[in-house]
C-alpha cells in the first residue's frame, strides 16, 4: 500500500508520492502512455487503487503532461480513506486543469472532492458551475451542480438549476429527471416528484432507484398522483428486483408491507429483511442496511430470526 506521509507524519508532495510508486505493478507499464492509462481506468473500476495508480504513473512517465493520467491519479487518491488523499487528489486534478483548462471531468471531480471529502459545498459549486459553462448540454455537469445545491439545502436554487438543465438539453436524461424528483421530494412537492419519476421510467424502465423514489413520493402525493397501497408495494418490489444493491430498497419495502397491514404481515416483512441480508449490497450500503434492519426489528418489537 502506498503511504502518503513521510516518517515524521508530514504529507508528501504530489511529486514525492508519485516517485514512490512502483510502476511495474502495472502489467502494461511499458506499453506507452495511452495504453497504460486505459489499463489504469479498468483497474480503477475494480477499486484496485494501487495497481491503477501504478498504470497512471507509468502513463505520466511516458508523457508527463497527459491530463487523463493526472485525472486518474486524482481519482485513486480521492478514493482513499485517509484525509491526506484529498490534498493529493486536489493537486492532481488541478495539474490536469493547468494543462487542459476545459477538462470538464476534472472540474466535476474537483467539485466532488471539495463536497464529499471536505464538505465544502460552496467551493465545490464553483467547479460545477465551470463544468456547466464549458459543456451546457451535458447532463452530468448539470446534475453535479443541482445535486450539490440540494445537498446544501438550497432546494429552490436546485429546482431552478434542474429546470434550466431541461430547457437546455431536454427531457431525455433519466438520471437528470431522477435527480430533479429527489429535489422535489425534499421540497415537499410530491405530486411533481411523481411526475418526474414517471418520466424517468418512461426512458429507463429498469431504473430501480426511480421506482423506489416513485413509491416514496406516491405515499405523500395527493389526488390523482396518490397510488394505491398495492401499487406502491409493487413500486418498492420493482426497486428491490432491479437494484438490490441499495439497503433502503429492501427495508422500505418491509416497512410498507408492515404498515399497510397494521403489522399483520410482519413475517413477510421480516422475510424481505432476511433476503436483503443475503443480497449483494454495495460495500458502503452494508452498514446502512444493518442499521436500518435493526431499527425495523426494534420498532416493530420483533426479535430477529437466527439468519438476521
Question: For position 218, which CATH number holds?
Answer: 1.25.40.10
The answer to whether residues 176 and 153 belong to one domain is: no
Residue 307 lies in a domain: yes
The answer to whether residues 154 and 208 belong to one domain is: no
Residue 111 lies in a domain: yes
The answer to whether residues 184 and 227 belong to one domain is: yes
Domain count, the chain: 4
The answer to whether residues 304 and 233 belong to one domain is: no
Which pLDDT score is estimated for 94?
A: 95
The answer to whether residues 255 and 219 belong to one domain is: no
Q: How far apart are CA 206 and CA 191, in angstroms?
A: 22
The answer to whether residues 194 and 227 belong to one domain is: yes
| Domain end call among 169, 198, 221 | 169
Residue 228 lies in a domain: yes
**Cα 150 versus chain centre, distance:** 14
The answer to whether residues 6 and 69 belong to one domain is: yes
Q: How far apart are CA 89 and CA 86, in angstroms?
A: 5
Tell me which residue range forms the domain holding 193. Answer: 171-238
The answer to whether residues 295 and 306 belong to one domain is: yes
The angle formed by the CA atoms of residues 161, 164 and 168, to the nearest 5 degrees, is 135
Which pLDDT score is estimated for 81?
A: 61
- Give me the half-sphere count of Cα atoms (radius 13 Å) on the Cβ side of residue 10: 5
- What DSSP letter does each residue of the chain carry, written as one string? ----B-TTSPBPPHHHHHHT--GGGSTTTTS-HHHHHHHHHHHHHTT-HHHHHHHHHHHHHH-TT-HHHHHHHHHHHHTSSSTHHHHHHHHHHHHHHHH-TT-HHHHHHHHHIIIIIS--HHHHHHHHHHHHHH-TT-HHHHHHHHHHHHHTT-HHHHHHHHHHHHHHH-S--HHHHHHHHHHHHHTT-HHHHHHHHHHHHHH-TT-HHHHHHHHHHHHH--GGGPPPHHHHHHHHHHHHHH-TT-HHHHHHHHHHHHHHTTTTTHHHHHHHHHHHHHS---HHHHHHHHHHHHHHHHHTT-PPPTT-
Residue 197 lies in a domain: yes
Closest alpha carbon to 76 in 99, 96, 101, 47:
47
Torsion on CA atoms 177, 180, 186, 188, rounded to nearest 10: -80
Which pLDDT score is estimated for 16?
A: 85
Q: How far apart are CA 79 and CA 46, in angstroms?
A: 12
| Domain end call among 151, 169, 187 | 169
Buried b (16+ CB within 10 A) or exposed e, 206-217: ebbbbbbbbbbb
The answer to whether residues 119 and 68 belong to one domain is: no
Residue 84 lies in a domain: no
Residue 226 lies in a domain: yes
Residue 282 lies in a domain: yes
| Domain end call among 41, 76, 111 | 76
Consecutive sets of 10 residues in the chain, 308 residues long: mean pLDDT of each? 48 81 94 96 95 97 95 94 80 95 97 93 96 96 97 97 95 95 97 97 98 97 87 98 98 97 94 97 94 95 47
Quickly count: other Cβ atoms within 10 Å of residue 1's Cβ: 6
The answer to whether residues 265 and 303 belong to one domain is: yes
The answer to whether residues 114 and 154 belong to one domain is: yes
Residue 91 lies in a domain: no
Amino acid at each position: 500500500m502506498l503511504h502518503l506521509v513521510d516518517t515524521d507524519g508530514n504529507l508528501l508532495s504530489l511529486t514525492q508520492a508519485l516517485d514512490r510508486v512502483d510502476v511495474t505493478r502495472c502489467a502494461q507499464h511499458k506499453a506507452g502512455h495511452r495504453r497504460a492509462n486505459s489499463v489504469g481506468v479498468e483497474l480503477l473500476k475494480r477499486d484496485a487503487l494501487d495497481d491503477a495508480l501504478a498504470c497512471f504513473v507509468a502513463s505520466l512517465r511516458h508523457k508527463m503532461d497527459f491530463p487523463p493520467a493526472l485525472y486518474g491519479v486524482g481519482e485513486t487518491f480521492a478514493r482513499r480513506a485517509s484525509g491526506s488523499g484529498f490534498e493529493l487528489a486536489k493537486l492532481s486534478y488541478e495539474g490536469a486543469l493547468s494543462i487542459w483548462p476545459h477538462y470538464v471531468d476534472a472540474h466535476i471531480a474537483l467539485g466532488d472532492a471539495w463536497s464529499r471529502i471536505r464538505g465544502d459545498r460552496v467551493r465545490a459549486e464553483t467547479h460545477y458551475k465551470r463544468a456547466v459553462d464549458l459543456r451546457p448540454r451535458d447532463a452530468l455537469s448539470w446534475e453535479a451542480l443541482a445535486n450539490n445545491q440540494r445537498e446544501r439545502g438550497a432546494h429552490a436554487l436546485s429546482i431552478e438549476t434542474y429546470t434550466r438543465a431541461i430547457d437546455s438539453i431536454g427531457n431525455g436524461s433519466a438520471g437528470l429527471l431522477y435527480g430533479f424528483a429527489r429535489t422535489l421530494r425534499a421540497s415537499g412537492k410530491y405530486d411533481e416528484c411523481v411526475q418526474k419519476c414517471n418520466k424517468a421510467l418512461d426512458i429507463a424502465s429498469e431504473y430501480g432507484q426511480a421506482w423506489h423514489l416513485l413509491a416514496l413520493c406516491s405515499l405523500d402525493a395527493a389526488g390523482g398522483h396518490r397510488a394505491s397501497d398495492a401499487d406502491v408495494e409493487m413500486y418498492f418490489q420493482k426497486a428491490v428486483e432491479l437494484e438490490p444493491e441499495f439497503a433502503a430498497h429492501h427495508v422500505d419495502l418491509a416497512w410498507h408491507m408492515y404498515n399497510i397491514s397494521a403489522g399483520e404481515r410482519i413475517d413477510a416483512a421480516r422475510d424481505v429483511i432476511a433476503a436483503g441480508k443475503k443480497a449483494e449490497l454495495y460495500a458502503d450500503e452494508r452498514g446502512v442496511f444493518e442499521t436500518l434492519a435493526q431499527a425495523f426489528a426494534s420498532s416493530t418489537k420483533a426479535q430477529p430470526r437466527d439468519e438476521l
